[in-house]
Structure 1
Amino acid sequence: MTTAVHTGFASPLSLLGDWEKQVEGPLREFLVLGHTIDLPFLEAVAVPRARALGARVAILGDAGPAPHETADVQLAGRGYLHGVAACHGAFRPELALLLGDDACRVAIGSGSGDPTRSGWDTDDEPWTIVTTDDGASHPLLADLADWLEALPDAVAMTPWWADHLRHLAELLTVLHCEAPPTATAGPEVELAHNLREPLITRLPEGPVDELRLYAPFVGPSGELLRLLRERLSPGEITLGVQPRRTGYDFAGVREALDGHPAARVRELTENRGRQGRLVEWRVGYTWHALTGSPDLTRAALARAVGDATGGTVEGAARNCELAVIAHGTTPLLPDEGPVRPVPELTGSTVAPRDATEAPPALVLLGVRAHGLLLEAVLGRRPVGAEVTVEISTDGGAPGSWHPLGTIPADRNTGAFRWTVAPGAAVRASCRPADGTYVESAAAFLYDAEGCAPRGAADTAPRLSGGYAVDDLFRDPAAARRFEQEIARLRELVVTDAATGTGAPGAPVPGTASPTMAECVRALGPELTEVAYGPLATDLPGLPRIPAQRRRQHSEHVPTDADAAAEAEDDTEEAAPEAGEGPLPESAREQARAWMARLARRLATEAAQASEATGGAERPAAVRPWSPPTTLLVTALHLQLLAAGAWDEDDYGWRAVTADLLRALDAADEAASGPHRQRIDAVTAVCVSLLGLHGEFEGPEAEPVAAAAWRTARAAVARAEPEDAADLCLPAGRRGAPVATEADVEALAKRARAVPDPMAEAHRALAAAHLAARHESGVWELTGEFSNPQAACAKAVTVLAGLPDGLWPGPVLVRAHARGTGVPCFMAWSRPLLVRRRGRAWSSFRILAPATPLATFQNGAPRPTAQGARSERDLGDLLAAAGLDPVPLFVHLQS
């Protein structure tokens, strides 16, 4: 079911109440956008209700002054995420998004729908409400997802807020936008915004029969009224005003509408503040309307966020606006109140919200914990002024602010060492060249994990129903529905055995493997069996694998019990196995595209996760998929290969297989026990398939196969072929790529014959009377040394000297000092060695046959560079090693 109500006088508070009464599933995400944000009001009426429904709450507002005192905010950073956005004008979208697994609610305000008591409770404020249930979609949702994706590129916000908005856009796309078309009730509505083009360009080029206008603020120059008149060429014009409440200048209105024979002003009643913004027009008997956040000003309707500045003072501002265009509406401007010709309009009022007021000179966009550091991001600052960052762990109470440090005049970000308390408030201040004191609004610590969606194992996301594997390959509708659902389940909820509660990972989502029972609950018995094969055969509630399939490609001798089981299996009606026959031609192309899309998504998100920096928070959108979901998609791919989805001379499946290997490698890092057993075995099957048409090593090595071998060799060496015996399938079509258990066993033996670099490194260090652990790319020598520099030089020489290039690229080692000595860090890749002693950086060139060990044992070599230049040299080494410098520096501070 999907409906759109364009004239509903509701608010997000009523939508929360409706969710409690009408929607069975939990609320996952609750996003609120507005210009003026009253956080204490939201903490009282909205945040607890949304959290009780299971949602993560995120609130984003304009960077201007807040209507509340910092000390009155209690839950920001602990119960919800709070942030600000800045642009060359006002950030004005009025939006509430309620997102669940199968239901969605979108509310777009039409004026003063800000998250304040007046905006959500007392003002006469129309909202456009879009409601979907049962996995249905609505055309406006796709536009909203695109807007959320593009918003961070158009306005200033922190990188972590940009990640969150794009994550919501992805969820909206996967859960709802890609759903099959559904009949909609209510008027036809579409989203309109000004990120790239002015909103006025979304209006028709006239002539139209009638134009009606209203907004609480009309640009004093009347320039926007003139532009609307020129574009729509209306036969009649009616401007609604509340004489004591509407901000306008009679001279500007008169000048804009001068000479129009049917221009008039309607005086609306003033018993209640009217806040809805409205541009509506009639063509024949059909009414159309643009409603939303924009006032009748050039900054709101006639400029895009990305426009260059210029023009009049009013025109130089570029607001960020969000609106809805509806077709086939009833007139929204009331046909009541006295009407008079425009020349009779008199008086001027002070604008309640002047679009030309100067934006704040200093904006702190946000702060978050980043490992051992506190990261702060500025959005706007006085030129040439050094900014001081202060923190309060007492809710911003007077006298509780303590300086953290300064951000230089040439930078907009700063990192400060501090033990951060949840919910801490941070502010920025400075003294510009004129000597005045400037202070930003307070920002609250961004803690995505602490504010994550709630849920227990019994409320964890799960597939809506059972899927037969054969249907996934042959039924496009079932395949599309499964793709949406499995993306939602990329991270399965893990139950905390000690408390019985569920959390999306422990301690960080995606780092703990769910139990088999949790897999069955989320995926269903049949798909869990597909994901885990022989490792899932003993689970209660799983269908027993037919005896013929259990013995396939194995050397097991059948017993009487097996024969009885086989006879019983033969009497049961079962769906055909993927490898028992070829796919029909009508299904092959769809199946190939479907699997390629899923595999690319897994690989892309695995790559994003590997690039994400360390720290306490990593956005959900850049985590690798959980082991069960990755295994399931890979097993389906292998079944598709055996079923003959690709032609004999079509090698497009190799790129898909390589993508899935990258996803398996990422999932392997988060897996343990049977999950890792299965990943190793499935990895071996995939690598074996790539070896069918290319060498892994040597001068004739095929690039895709060689890359897979380098990445997955350790997993293949651990693999037990019987753990993936179910995926060693017969070919259902001539030339279909399949692997046998013998192929996988031979490949595992070959991998085990190659020395393990990590094991060989530990063995070489032990022979040199050193012990170490490998953390964050750095070899940490255990114990303390009277001469840490000599210990580091010895270790880097040993590790770089491993035979056969077992440890290619730079070697990074750190040694700690005994007592009050100075620790040492070295990064070595001939001929460059970068050293850090205490806080001093130096670089050295060590040419063959000299080694670091000999160089630093025989004396004190002269450095070739020091200080910042040495740190740049280290950056070159890290780039060669594929290491991110940020987590390394955080690690070195620990």
Structure 2
Amino acid sequence: MTTAVHTGYASPVSLLGDWENDGKGPLREFLVLGYTTDLPFLEAVAVPRARALGARVAILGDAGHALHEAVDVRLAGRGYLHGVASCHGAFHPKLALLLGDDACRVAIGSGNPTPSGWGANDELWTVVATDDGASHPLLADLADWLDSLPDAVAMTPWWADHLRHLAELLTVLHCEAPPTDTEGPEVELAHNLWTPLIDRLPERPVDELRLYAPFVDPSGELLRLLRERMSPADITLGIQRRWSRYDSDGVRRAFEGHPAARVRELAETRTRHGKLVEWRVGDTWHALTGSPNLTRAALARAVGDATGTTAEGPARNCELAVIAHDTAPLLPDVGPVRPVRELTGSTVTPQDATERPPALVLLGVREHGLLLEAVLGRRPAGQEVTVEISTDGGAPGSWHPIGPIPADRDTGTFPWTGAPGAAVRARCLLADGTYVESAAAFLYDPEGCAPRGAAGTVPRLSGDHTADELFRDPAAARRFEQDVTRLRELVVTDAAARAAGPGGAAHATVADCLRALGPALTELAFGPLASDLPRLPQAPAARGWRISEYLAADAEDETPEAGQDPEAEEDASALPDSAREQARAWIAGLARRLAAEAGDDTAARARPWSVPTTLLVTALHLQLLAAGAWDENDYGWRPVTADLLHALDAADDDVPDEQRQRLDAVTAVCVSLLGLHGDLEGPDADPLAAAAWSLARTAVARAEPEHAADLCLPPGRRGAPVATEADVEALAKRARDVPDPVAEAHRALEAAHVGATYENGVWELAGEFSNPQAACAKAVTLLAALRPGPVLARAHARGTGVPCFMAWSRPLLIRQRGRQWTAFRITAPATPLATFQSAAPRPTAQGDEARRGLGPLLDEAGLDPVSVFLHLQQSPAAR
């Protein structure tokens, strides 16, 4: 395991070449951040190479500083993800992240992803390289920064999800690795999301201070702040007479009266674009390098929580830097030197002093079902914005409007039929009669740009793991956790993707999983579904596959001798005591991650764990239960089981029928286990079991026990919690058997002191209410707990108030108040009652889009949409 830090001049393009030449294996992610971006250049020199290595490529730049024209861009949205960010200043970090299974490269520097920044200019980069699964402290700080960045600058929700996904990958694959010895200088990450970068510099006298950046505050204000903070005995400012942007009056004011302040004129054979603050204490040099220029906006201000949309006040750039210790001096010691007082002239242009962020910013666009969703980052106040599309890649004359975004909204949705290569822009008519246009955005397509295996193969686990190995070997367990994090969105074969057709969803087949997960874990995830695949043994009989078969695999004779004590056999087949604690902590951690992301509406639903990986983790948990990982009276397994139920529920969305059968059956096993130690419903219901029953009752009703027969295991220890096929069958029958659902609902409502009548599929609450919304929320919460499927209720208002109608089928709630339709997403354990008692959740859709969501709920409930809508138009008197 090796870790190295290289400080010097480099280009991220060379890192791609080195990765391939050094045989680092598949590249999973390639992230590029920059201020100015040149997409045609990147499409020529970086994107094809990264994609050939298997990577998903993502490029994020400043919203107002693209160097390309839309018509020159060919692969954005199809070969790589492109996006922009906006803040109250410049989005200015320069970063290249190469992320693989065992190797990682992080380059932080001064070069923009353009021909100049990645080729012609003299740039300054710091590269952190880790191999063989090693880690470095800077990687953990970078993961934290990526996770926090969307909170500080404006970007689309889907780009925020992607950056946080990369932060998670970086953490699991590398940050959690054991520390290793590092070659090169000690380095640490520095940024200004919450505090200014200048606060990271020493606030004490230093022996020497050397400075260089292509842009220096014309006022000299930042130079003065550095001088006051560090009290240097010696100061050198490097400049290039033709290419540096400075004003001699400001520099002289900043250093006035200093006895040893001087200017070094650097060679002008090429533009020096590196940014540098370096200082010496005794014989030791330290340096801050990266993206910040010698300006107040870069070094003396923090981004804070300003997103650039309504923030006021001075500019606050978003910057990223590295502080290195015990380095060699980086400012060249060549070139004429003269006292600061002799510096003359100014290279500052009027544009430098007056540059403002663009008035109209389109942060991004994506397909959202049958709609196109567009998100604005900045807009002229009080003006309607028109969204235009070009299906010809932005060619002149190909733009046409598709709809407006009202003045009071920053997000718009429009009918969409799909058009690969489409470019989108926003256009606004100003009060003075002129038009302003945004830069073009390209469709965000995470599936089309997903990571792919080398030569089109499915990515694989790092080894053919067995359950025994995972439970008993912490190193193997960590490696598996890295693997399933990488494979959470299991990539399908090219053939499966083509078969899905344009806009279709290609799902990983069991055969795909066989290549990715290996035989043992594929059988564990899919059970009977895997029995017909080549190279896999037939699924075991009803007794199922047992971990004890692996634990005792090296025994000379696994058959107990005649007369052997059955209790001794049970102990021999159980998980050894030495492995139990580690196994419990490991599976609980995995379950918490799956559940946390399943409950995150913005991140997890946009990037859910795949059905195979969720099934696999759940099956491992059930194996551990049967093997006796928990003591007989230790019920710590119940919250873990509940967490996995939430993950299974999140995975239950548009999956192939055969995989849904497995998903339903495994869900039923988990609910059966929770029902062993608490009633599922009724006045004495156990809260954990009741919540699981409410969440998963629909899936349990569909479950067929034979699809999870391999997970109905005999106990390996006395008291180990297991579910039998008979338990699962009885539970599924209970979920399906509701003798008189209307009568049952009446009893439940009466017990809660709510009267109601059932008309045309809608529960009409008796009387009038001062708060009809709260009454409706209470009713649908009570009714949904009784049986699976959608419930509809309406409450009428007292006096001149407006009635409220709600349709609820977790996680979707559709509400009508008066003529206003709104849709919400309410995930477990939250309920409509709890949600609307405190504050209304953030809507996911409004108006016609929300009303259209009612149709699928009515279909699921078996109700006639026409009858329901006619019923809702009637007043109480008319009925």
Report the Cα distance in structure 2 between the residues aligned to 1:542 and 1:344, rounded to whole angstroms: 81
2:515 alignment partner in structure 1: 521
The share of aligned pairs that are identical, in percent, is: 72
TM-score normalized with structure 1 length:
0.79
Q: Match for 1:413 among 408, 411, 414?
A: 411
Q: How does 1:616-631 map to 2 (within 5 A)?
A: 622-631=606-615
Q: Match for 1:663 among 626, 631, 647?
A: 647
Conserved? CA contact 2:763–2:793, under 8 Å: no
Deviation at 1:124, TM superposition (A): 0.9
Conserved? CA contact 1:99–1:105, under 8 Å: yes
2:71 alignment partner in structure 1: 71
Conserved? CA contact 2:816–2:822, under 8 Å: no
2:524 alignment partner in structure 1: 530
Report the Cα distance in structure 1 between the residues aligned to 2:172 and 2:506, rounded to whole angstroms: 23
Report the Cα distance in structure 2 between the residues aligned to 1:868 and 1:250, rounded to whole angstroms: 65
One-letter code aligned to 2:818: R
Deviation at 1:384, TM superposition (A): 2.4
1:871 alignment partner in structure 2: 820
The answer to whether structure 1 residue 707 and structure 2 residue 675 are counterparts is no
1:451 alignment partner in structure 2: 449
1:562 alignment partner in structure 2: none
Report the Cα distance in structure 2 between the residues aligned to 1:247 and 1:357, rounded to whole angstroms: 14
Deviation at 1:520, TM superposition (A): 3.0
2:752 alignment partner in structure 1: none
Deviation at 1:200, TM superposition (A): 0.7
2:216 alignment partner in structure 1: 218
Deviation at 1:175, TM superposition (A): 2.0
The answer to whether structure 1 residue 512 and structure 2 residue 504 are counterparts is no
Q: How does 1:9-158 map to 2 (within 5 A)?
A: 9-110=9-110, 113-158=111-156
The answer to whether structure 1 residue 830 and structure 2 residue 816 are counterparts is no
One-letter code aligned to 2:640: V
Deviation at 1:637, TM superposition (A): 1.5
Report the Cα distance in structure 2 between the residues aligned to 1:19 and 1:757, rounded to whole angstroms: 63
CA distance 1:436–1:548, shift in 2 (3 Å): closer
Conserved? CA contact 1:211–1:280, under 8 Å: yes
Conserved? CA contact 1:579–1:642, under 8 Å: no
Root mean square deviation, CA, Å: 4.2
Structure 1: segments with no counterpart, 5+ residues: 554-565, 613-618, 762-791, 813-826, 834-841, 847-865
2:812 alignment partner in structure 1: none
CA distance 1:296–1:534, shift in 2 (3 Å): same
Conserved? CA contact 1:86–1:379, under 8 Å: yes
The answer to whether structure 1 residue 592 and structure 2 residue 556 are counterparts is no
Task: Give the match's secondary structure for 1:694.
Answer: coil
Task: Give the match's secondary structure for 2:288.
Answer: strand
Task: Give the match's secondary structure for 1:637.
Answer: helix
2:634 alignment partner in structure 1: 650
1:537-592 CA-partner distances (Å, limit 9, x unpaired): 56543468899966999xxxxxxxxxxxx999759xxxx99974555555433322
Q: Match for 1:460 among 447, 458, 461?
A: 458
Deviation at 1:35, TM superposition (A): 0.9
Deviation at 1:707, TM superposition (A): 2.1
One-letter code aligned to 1:530: L
Report the Cα distance in structure 2 between the residues aligned to 1:42 and 1:252, rounded to whole angstroms: 38
CA distance 1:400–1:513, shift in 2 (3 Å): closer
Deviation at 1:382, TM superposition (A): 2.2
Deviation at 1:668, TM superposition (A): 4.5
Report the Cα distance in structure 1 between the residues aligned to 2:290 and 2:678, rounded to whole angstroms: 59
Report the Cα distance in structure 1 between the residues aligned to 2:854 and 2:662, rounded to whole angstroms: 36
The answer to whether structure 1 residue 737 and structure 2 residue 732 are counterparts is no
1:700-748 CA-partner distances (Å, limit 9, x unpaired): 1111112222333444445454554544445455543233444444434
Deviation at 1:235, TM superposition (A): 2.0
Conserved? CA contact 1:214–1:277, under 8 Å: yes
Task: Give the match's secondary structure for 1:494.
Answer: coil
Task: Give the match's secondary structure for 1:375.
Answer: strand
1:178 alignment partner in structure 2: 176
CA distance 1:874–1:509, shift in 2 (3 Å): closer
Deviation at 1:697, TM superposition (A): 2.1
Task: Give the match's secondary structure for 1:115.
Answer: coil
Report the Cα distance in structure 2 between the residues aligned to 1:74 and 1:135, rounded to whole angstroms: 36
Deviation at 1:688, TM superposition (A): 2.2
1:640-682 CA-partner distances (Å, limit 9, x unpaired): 2233333444322111111112223344545546544443443
Question: Higher mean Cα deviation, 263-272 or 539-548?
Answer: 539-548
One-letter code aligned to 1:333: L
CA distance 1:298–1:876, shift in 2 (3 Å): closer
Q: Match for 2:284 among 277, 283, 286?
A: 286
Task: Give the match's secondary structure for 1:289.
Answer: strand
Conserved? CA contact 1:2–1:138, under 8 Å: no
Deviation at 1:600, TM superposition (A): 1.5
One-letter code aligned to 1:512: H
Deviation at 1:424, TM superposition (A): 2.1
Report the Cα distance in structure 1 between the residues aligned to 2:350 and 2:293, rounded to whole angstroms: 11
Task: Give the match's secondary structure for 1:20.
Answer: helix
Q: How does 1:306-705 map to 2 (within 5 A)?
A: 306=304, 316-350=314-348, 354=352, 357-455=355-453, 459-495=457-493, 499=495, 512-515=507-510, 517-533=511-527, 536=530, 539-542=533-536, 580-581=572-573, 583=575, 587-608=579-600, 611=601, 622-672=606-656, 675-705=659-689
One-letter code aligned to 1:120: W
Deviation at 1:109, TM superposition (A): 1.9
2:768 alignment partner in structure 1: none
Report the Cα distance in structure 1 between the residues aligned to 2:131 and 2:504, rounded to whole angstroms: 28
CA distance 1:406–1:738, shift in 2 (3 Å): closer
1:770 alignment partner in structure 2: none
CA distance 1:504–1:273, shift in 2 (3 Å): farther
One-letter code aligned to 1:246: S
One-letter code aligned to 1:526: A
Structure 2: segments with no counterpart, 5+ residues: 548-554, 561-567, 746-757, 765-775, 806-814, 836-842, 857-879
Conserved? CA contact 2:92–2:318, under 8 Å: yes
Q: How does 1:714-725 map to 2 (within 5 A)?
A: 714-721=698-705, 723-725=707-709
Task: Give the match's secondary structure for 1:325.
Answer: strand
Deviation at 1:63, TM superposition (A): 1.6
One-letter code aligned to 1:699: P
1:305 alignment partner in structure 2: 303
One-letter code aligned to 2:634: D
Conserved? CA contact 1:7–1:128, under 8 Å: yes
Deviation at 1:502, TM superposition (A): 6.0
1:818 alignment partner in structure 2: none
Task: Give the match's secondary structure for 2:195.
Answer: coil
CA distance 1:64–1:630, shift in 2 (3 Å): closer
Deviation at 1:195, TM superposition (A): 0.6
Report the Cα distance in structure 1 between the residues aligned to 2:819 and 2:542, rounded to whole angstroms: 65
One-letter code aligned to 1:631: L
Question: Higher mean Cα deviation, 393-402 or 580-589?
Answer: 580-589
1:560 alignment partner in structure 2: none
One-letter code aligned to 2:131: D
One-letter code aligned to 1:159: P
Question: Higher mean Cα deviation, 596-605 or 290-299?
Answer: 596-605
1:765-798 CA-partner distances (Å, limit 9, x unpaired): xxxxxxxxxxxxxxxxxxxxxxxxxxx9856589
CA distance 1:495–1:452, shift in 2 (3 Å): closer
Conserved? CA contact 2:668–2:731, under 8 Å: yes
Conserved? CA contact 1:578–1:643, under 8 Å: no
Deviation at 1:437, TM superposition (A): 3.4
Report the Cα distance in structure 2 between the residues aligned to 1:67 and 1:519, rounded to whole angstroms: 42
Deviation at 1:280, TM superposition (A): 0.7
Q: Match for 2:275 among 277, 301, 311?
A: 277
One-letter code aligned to 1:52: A
Deviation at 1:699, TM superposition (A): 1.4
CA distance 1:60–1:673, shift in 2 (3 Å): closer
Question: Higher mean Cα deviation, 283-292 or 168-177?
Answer: 168-177
Task: Give the match's secondary structure for 1:710.
Answer: helix
One-letter code aligned to 2:80: Y
